C-alpha cells in the first residue's frame, strides 16, 4: 500500500488583519507545500506575500498583532500551539532586508547565533557554521565584521545563519533583492539543490524571470491579499498582465505586439538636446580617489570620473565591489584617503554633508537607514523643511513625490509599519521631495514589483528638476532601459565607462564583473543594427514588425 506523503506546510482557510487596519491583509488562503517542492510566490508589492510568510513562520500573531483565523500545519503539527523557538527549528526564514536579521558583529558569530540559542555544543556548532559558509561560497567572510559587509554579502550571511539550523521548511522573502546576478544564480542553484534533497521552499520574489529558469514546481500569484493563480509555471503567463510581472523578453514581445506601441518618454527634460552636455565644470568630479576603511586594504583604487549634466548612469558590479562606497564619496559621507571629490567645484572635505545634499539627494540601499518619522507625510516633509523650503513648496513637493511612488493614501501611516517594498518607495519619495539637482539611488528596485518600479522610474526620469541621475543596480535590464551611461566597477576600480550598447556587448567583461546577460539585453543586441539604441521589450515588439 502506497503511503500518501505528508505536506510540509498545510494552510487552511487563512485570514489575517493587522491591528489598526480595516482591511484584511490576506483572505481565505488554502494551499499545501510538499517536501521537495519549490513554490514561487509572486505579486505586487503590498499584496500580502510577506504577511503570508509571517503566518507560516509564526511571527504572526506572536510579533505582528491582529486578528487571525484558519489553521497552519507544519509537518502535521498545528503551529498555533507551538512556541516560536520550536517553529524556528522547523521553518527557516531569510528576510527581505538583511539589516533587520543580522545581530552578530562578526560573521562566524552571526551564523552561529541560532545554534547557540538551541544550546548545541561547540563541537557541533563550529562544523555547522563552516558547512553553511562553504555551501554559499563565503568562507572568506568568516572573520569579517558584519558592519562592513555589502548588502549582498549580508544577504548571504543571513541565509547561512538559517541553513546552519537545518530546517525542513525554508521561507525566502526576496532573497535575490540585494544580490548581483551571478550570486543570484548561485543562490538559486543552492535552493534548487536543497529542494531536490527534500526541503520544502517557499520563495517570494519579484525577479520572476530569474526564478523561472530554475523550474519552480508551482507558482502562487497574489493580488490584494487573495490567491489569483496557483498552478504550474506554464499557466502563469496566461493569467498575469505582462506590465505587472516581469516575464522573459520574448514572451513580452509576443504579447505586446498585439497592443499599441508604448508612448515615447523624454528623460531629463531639464537638459537641452538628446545627448549629455559637457560643461566647463562637471557636476561631480572624482580625481584619483583612493579609499580604505580603518585598518583595511584599499576598496577604491585610483578612480577618476566626471558626472556631467544629462547623465543617467547605471553603476553595475558584484557584491562588495565598491559601488556603494564610491557613491558615498559623491555625497560626502566618506572622504578620500587620497585624491579628491568635487561637487559643483567644491572639495567635499571642505563642505558639510548637509551642503552636499542641496546638490545630491541619496536614497540608501536599506530603507531602515533612512526612515524615522512617525508618519509618511512627516518623513517626506523632513528634508525640504531642513533645506528651508516654504510651507507651500513643501506641501506641493510632498504631494508630487508620494504620487510618483504610488503611495497616495499612506500619508498618515507609520513608514516602518509598511512592507519593505513600500518602505523603499517612501525613502525614494523623501529624496524626491527635496528637489536636489542630482538624484542618487542605491538599488532602487529592491523589494519592488515590476509595474511599480517601471512606473516610478519613468516618472522620476521625466521630472524637470534633475540635471543627472545615478543608480546602483544589480538589475541589468534597468540599465538597458534607462541608462545612457554605464560604469562597471570591479574590486574598487572602474573597469568600463561608456554607452550601454558599447559596454554591455562585451559578455566576457560582464562575466568578470559577475553580471549575467538577460533575455532583454540579448534581444536588444540582436536588433541594435535596426534600433541604434536599447529599448524596453514593449517597444522592441513593434520594431520586430517594421
State pLDDT tens for residues 115-149.
998 888 999 999 999 999 998 889 999 999 888 88
Cα(490)–Cα(301) distance, rounded to whole angstroms? 10
Peptide bond into 157 cis (omega under 30): no
Q: Which of 267, 279, 271 is nearest to 306 (CA)?
A: 279
What is the torsion angle, in degrees rounded to the nearest 10, for the CA atoms of residue 528, residue 530, residue 531 and residue 536?
-70
Question: What's the average model confidence in pLDDT over 238-242?
Answer: 86
Is 178 a residue whose pLDDT tops 70?
A: yes
Is 270 a residue whose pLDDT tops 90?
A: no
Spatial contact of 488 and 496, defined as CB atoms under 8 Å apart: yes
C-alpha 431, offset from chain centre:
18
**Strand pairing of 360-363 and 438-442?**
parallel
Cα(479)–Cα(253) distance, rounded to whole angstroms? 19
Q: Which of 485, 426, 487, 474 is nearest to 446 (CA)?
A: 474
- Predicted pLDDT of residue 394: 93
- Predicted pLDDT of residue 247: 87
Cα(377)–Cα(401) distance, rounded to whole angstroms? 10
Cα(286)–Cα(336) distance, rounded to whole angstroms? 10
Can you give the C-alpha Rg of the chain in angstroms?
Answer: 23
- Predicted pLDDT of residue 324: 92
Beta strands in 348-484 (DSSP E): 360-363, 438-442, 468-472
Q: Which of 374, 398, 371 is nearest to 384 (CA)?
A: 398
Cα(25)–Cα(448) distance, rounded to whole angstroms? 18
SS3 for 362? strand
- Predicted pLDDT of residue 309: 94
Other residues' Cβ atoms within 10 Å of the Cβ of residue 367: 25
SS3 for 133? helix
Question: What's the average model confidence in pLDDT over 259-267?
Answer: 89
- Predicted pLDDT of residue 208: 86
For cell 531569510, the residue is: 94
Is 3 a residue whose pLDDT tops 70?
A: no
Question: What's the average model confidence in pLDDT over 482-494?
Answer: 96
Is 546 a residue whose pLDDT tops 50?
A: no
SS3 for 401? helix
Cα(532)–Cα(390) distance, rounded to whole angstroms? 45
User: Could you tell me which residue, 383 or 365, shows the higher pLDDT?
Assistant: 383
- Predicted pLDDT of residue 435: 87
Cα(117)–Cα(135) distance, rounded to whole angstroms? 22
H or E element, residue 312: strand 312-317
Contacts of 131 (CB under 8 A, 6+ apart): 164
Task: State the pLDDT confidence band at 225, using cuts at 50, 70 and 90.
Answer: very high
SS3 for 149? coil
C-alpha cell at 464: 524637470
Cα(29)–Cα(81) distance, rounded to whole angstroms? 20
Cα(26)–Cα(50) distance, rounded to whole angstroms? 10
Cα(394)–Cα(72) distance, rounded to whole angstroms? 47
State which CATH number among 3.20.20.70, 3.40.50.150, 3.40.50.300, 3.30.930.10 fits the domain covering 9-240: 3.40.50.300
Percent of the residues in the chain that have a pLDDT greater than 70, as a whole number: 97
User: Could you tell me which residue, 21 or 106, shows the higher pLDDT?
Assistant: 106
Question: What's the average model confidence in pLDDT over 186-204?
Answer: 91
C-alpha cell at 34: 510538499
Cα(253)–Cα(245) distance, rounded to whole angstroms? 14
Cα(461)–Cα(444) distance, rounded to whole angstroms? 13
- Predicted pLDDT of residue 273: 56
- Predicted pLDDT of residue 544: 52
Cα(496)–Cα(486) distance, rounded to whole angstroms? 8
Cα(40)–Cα(172) distance, rounded to whole angstroms? 10
Contacts of 97 (CB under 8 A, 6+ apart): 366, 367, 368, 420, 447
Task: State the pLDDT confidence band at 2, using cuts at 50, 70 and 90.
Answer: low
DSSP at 235: H
pTM of the predicted protein model: 0.83
**Strand pairing of 218-223 and 226-231?**
antiparallel
Spatial contact of 245 and 80, defined as CB atoms under 8 Å apart: no
Question: What's the average model confidence in pLDDT over 389-399?
Answer: 93
Task: State the pLDDT confidence band at 101, using cuts at 50, 70 and 90.
Answer: confident
Least confident of 271-280, 374-383, 516-525: 271-280
Percent of the residues in the chain that have a pLDDT greater than 90, as a whole number: 62
Q: Which of 366, 344, 365, 364 is nearest to 356 (CA)?
A: 344
Is 275 a residue whose pLDDT tops 70?
A: no
Cα(390)–Cα(439) distance, rounded to whole angstroms? 21
Is 379 a residue whose pLDDT tops 60?
A: yes
Is 279 a residue whose pLDDT tops 80?
A: no
Pick from 82-86, 190-194, 301-305, 443-447 the range whose average pLDDT is largest: 301-305
- Predicted pLDDT of residue 327: 95
Amino acid at each position: 500500500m502506497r503511503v500518501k506523503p505528508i505536506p510540509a506546510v498545510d494552510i487552511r482557510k487563512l485570514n489575517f488583519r493587522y491591528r489598526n487596519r480595516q482591511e484584511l491583509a490576506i483572505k481565505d488562503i488554502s494551499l499545501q507545500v510538499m517536501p521537495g517542492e519549490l513554490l514561487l510566490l509572486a505579486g505586487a508589492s503590498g499584496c500580502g506575500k510577506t504577511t503570508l510568510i509571517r503566518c507560516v513562520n509564526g511571527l504572526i500573531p506572536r510579533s505582528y498583532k491582529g486578528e487571525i483565523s484558519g489553521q497552519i500545519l507544519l509537518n502535521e503539527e498545528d503551529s498555533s500551539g507551538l512556541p516560536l523557538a520550536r517553529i524556528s527549528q522547523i521553518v527557516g526564514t531569510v528576510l527581505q532586508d538583511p539589516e533587520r536579521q543580522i545581530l552578530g558583529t562578526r560573521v562566524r558569530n552571526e551564523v552561529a547565533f541560532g545554534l547557540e540559542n538551541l544550546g548545541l555544543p561547540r563541537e557541533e556548532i563550529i562544523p555547522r557554521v563552516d558547512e553553511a559558509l562553504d555551501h554559499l561560497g563565503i568562507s572568506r567572510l568568516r572573520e569579517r565584521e558584519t558592519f562592513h559587509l555589502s548588502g549582498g554579502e549580508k544577504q548571504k550571511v543571513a541565509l547561512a545563519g538559517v541553513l546552519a539550523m537545518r530546517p525542513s521548511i525554508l521561507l525566502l522573502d526576496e532573497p535575490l533583492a540585494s544580490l548581483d546576478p551571478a550570486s543570484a544564480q548561485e543562490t538559486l542553484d543552492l535552493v534548487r539543490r536543497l529542494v531536490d534533497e527534500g526541503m520544502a521552499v517557499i520563495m517570494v520574489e519579484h525577479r520572476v524571470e530569474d526564478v523561472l529558469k530554475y523550474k519552480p514546481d508551482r507558482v502562487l500569484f497574489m493580488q490584494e491579499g487573495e490567491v489569483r493563480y496557483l498552478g504550474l509555471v506554464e499557466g502563469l503567463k496566461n493569467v498575469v498582465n505582462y506590465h505587472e510581472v516581469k516575464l522573459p523578453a520574448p514572451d513580452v514581445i509576443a504579447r505586446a505586439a498585439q497592443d499599441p506601441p508604448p508612448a515615447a518618454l523624454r528623460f531629463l527634460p531639464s537638459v537641452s538636446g538628446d545627448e549629455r552636455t559637457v560643461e566647463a565644470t562637471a557636476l561631480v568630479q572624482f580625481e584619483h580617489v583612493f579609499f580604505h576603511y580603518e585598518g583595511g586594504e584599499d576598496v577604491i583604487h585610483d578612480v577618476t570620473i566626471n558626472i556631467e549634466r544629462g547623465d543617467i548612469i547605471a553603476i553595475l558590479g558584484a557584491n562588495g565591489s565598491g559601488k556603494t562606497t564610491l557613491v558615498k564619496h559623491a555625497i560626502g559621507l566618506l572622504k578620500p584617503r587620497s585624491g579628491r571629490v568635487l561637487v559643483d567645484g567644491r572639495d567635499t572635505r571642505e563642505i558639510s554633508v548637509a551642503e552636499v545634499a542641496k546638490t545630491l539627494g541619496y536614497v540608501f540601499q536599506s530603507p531602515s537607514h533612512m526612515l524615522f518619522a512617525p508618519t509618511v507625510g512627516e518623513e517626506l516633509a523632513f528634508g525640504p523643511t531642513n533645506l528651508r523650503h516654504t510651507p507651500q513648496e513643501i506641501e506641493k513637493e510632498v504631494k508630487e513625490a508620494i504620487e510618483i511612488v504610488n503611495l497616495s493614501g499612506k500619508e498618515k501611516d507609520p513608514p516602518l509599519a509598511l512592507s519593505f517594498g513600500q518602505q523603499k518607495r517612501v525613502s525614494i519619495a523623501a529624496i524626491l521631495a527635496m528637489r536636489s539637482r542630482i538624484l542618487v539611488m542605491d538599488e532602487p528596485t529592491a523589494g519592488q514589483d515590476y509595474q511599480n518600479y517601471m512606473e516610478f522610474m519613468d516618472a522620476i526620469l521625466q521630472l524637470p528638476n534633475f540635471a543627472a541621475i545615478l543608480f546602483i543596480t544589480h538589475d541589468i535590464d534597468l540599465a538597458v532601459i534607462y541608462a545612457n551611461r554605464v560604469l562597471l566597477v570591479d574590486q574598487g576600480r572602474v573597469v568600463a565607462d561608456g554607452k550601454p550598447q558599447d559596454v554591455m556587448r562585451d559578455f566576457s567583461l560582464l562575466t568578470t564583473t559577475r553580471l549575467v546577460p538577460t533575455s532583454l539585453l540579448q534581444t536588444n543586441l540582436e536588433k541594435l543594427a535596426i534600433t541604434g539604441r536599447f529599448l524596453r521589450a514593449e517597444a522592441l515588439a513593434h520594431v520586430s514588425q517594421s
